[in-house]
Amino acid sequence: MPTPGGLFGGVFARGRVDTSDRAWLQAMLDTEAGLARALEAAGLAAPGAGAAVTGAARADAFDLAWLGQQAALTGNPVPALARELTRMVPPGAAAAVHKGATSQDIIDTAAMLLARQAMATVAADLATAAAAVAGLAAGHRDTLMIGRTLLQQAVPVTFGLVAAGWLTGLDEARTALARVAASRLAVQFGGAAGTLAALDAAGPEVAAALAAELGLAVPTLPWHTDRLRVIEIGAACAGVTGVLSKIARDVTLLAQSEVGEVHERGGAGRGGSSAMPHKHNPVAAIAVLGCTRQVPGLLATLVSSAEQEHQRAAGAWHAEWAPLSDVLRLTGSAASWAVDMLTGLAADPARMRANLDAAGGFPLAEHVAALLGPELGRPAAHDLVAQASAWAAANGRPLRDGLLGSPEAGRLAAAGITPEQVDRALDPAGYLGAAADFVDAALAAHGAAEPLG
């Protein structure tokens, strides 16, 4: 798992989401400390025990490497961690360490704490990215460009509409993330087999107190082998990365040398190539894609790990730890890169118009056929435009010449169609449909969603 200071960390561990070993350890310690406080509140631990355990629960005081070695003996690091934490607190507080809990309680609850931090960080970055995209949508509401379907030129659109599509995706991903963060992050506390038998009748009271201490939800019952919460966290993150990958792919395509309709910010050394100094690679978009491509496979592992035996799983639970960490980290990195990509993205309206004009009017063939339909009938209008287009393409001429200078021109004149009407039909600004309305709707919806940031 790349770390911020590692060789690949600059790409795959960018931003403020921390799922490092130290972060995991601190989340486990926070859970143990919260449990000690909950036990004290329930009268099951000595006065002051909660504060004593909390004071000792500092990741820097533990040897990560040693805990990792001990994990090989028990299948996870919690037994060794609990022993070390017990050793570090005063004798009167020792009984409050890990009382009533099992290793899975500590690790699952720690996972919820990490997910909460990660999702809040991702949500903040998505809000920043969405604000930048909203600016692009508003500023380029009427900026003409060619639309592309199946990687081929289609009909005119606006860059504002393209950005509005990005914006809607970002806002919907933020909404889904917020729903999971608000309702699906729950404490795990069930003891050996989900009954909390070690605490007798006080078990539910301690579970509720632990949830309150940690700011997590209280589940209906322990969820040791019900892994839907983990899947939903992964799915919400996958939704985010799916949206970000679409935006990043658009940026890479629009930034191609032959297209040149957008470009990322520059700077010393930014976007350079080791072999081709003339290049200006869209680094942020590429990094987003490098992160997002990994998430679907990781989500599949989380889903496949939901098949768990009886009250506690043999291996499937363990299989979640690394992919869940990676999903959170990669989503955070992609969101951070997206902020970089979108806050520094510049559109080139002149190049957009030049590429549109270079299409020779052929993308407006549908509009011309609509103009001719009332006079010639739809089938005849379609055939006339198709024949004029074929003539123009064969002779290297724009569609206008095919309509007004080919053998088909006589049929237009006979139908009372003037060159001025043809020119109006070939004006891309007159064939944008509801593009501006859609941009306005996306911006209005964004304004309503803004508090999610």
Residue 103 tokens read as: 């290793």
Domain boundaries 104-353, CATH class: mainly alpha
Q: Do residues 355 and 146 make contact, with C-beta atoms less than 8 angstroms apart?
A: yes
Residue type, 390: A
Q: Do residues 106 and 78 make contact, with C-beta atoms less than 8 angstroms apart?
A: yes
Burial of 99 (0-12, 13-18, 19+ CB in 10 A): buried
* Phi and psi at residue 268, to the nearest 5°: -60, 120
- CA–CA dist 102, 407 (Å, integer): 85
Residue type, 317: W
Counting Cα atoms < 13 Å in the Cβ hemisphere of 411 gives: 18
**In this predicted structure, what is the pLDDT of residue 332?**
98
**In this predicted structure, what is the pLDDT of residue 1?**
65
Domain boundaries, the chain: 104-353, 362-425
Range of lowest pLDDT (101-115, 331-345, 395-409): 395-409
How large is the average pLDDT for residues 362-380? Answer: 89
**In this predicted structure, what is the pLDDT of residue 2?**
72
Residue 447 predicted with pLDDT over 60? yes
Give percent above pLDDT 90 in the chain.
86
Catalytic (active-site) positions: 273, 312
- CA–CA dist 162, 166 (Å, integer): 7
- The angle that helices 103-139 and 228-254 make with each other, rounded to 10 degrees, is 30
Q: Do residues 341 and 376 make contact, with C-beta atoms less than 8 angstroms apart?
A: no
Q: Do residues 235 and 299 make contact, with C-beta atoms less than 8 angstroms apart?
A: yes
pTM: 0.94
346: enclosing H helix or E strand: strand 346-347
- CA–CA dist 283, 47 (Å, integer): 56
Strands 346-347 and 144-149: unpaired
Range of lowest pLDDT (61-65, 195-199, 268-272): 268-272
**What does the DSSP 8-state code read for residue 312?**
S
Residue in 346, 288, 327 with CA at minimum distance from that of residue 126: 288
Q: Do residues 19 and 114 make contact, with C-beta atoms less than 8 angstroms apart?
A: yes
**In this predicted structure, what is the pLDDT of residue 268?**
45
Q: Do residues 247 and 342 make contact, with C-beta atoms less than 8 angstroms apart?
A: yes
Cα 334 from chain centre: 7
Predicted confidence band of residue 276 (pLDDT cuts 50, 70, 90): very low
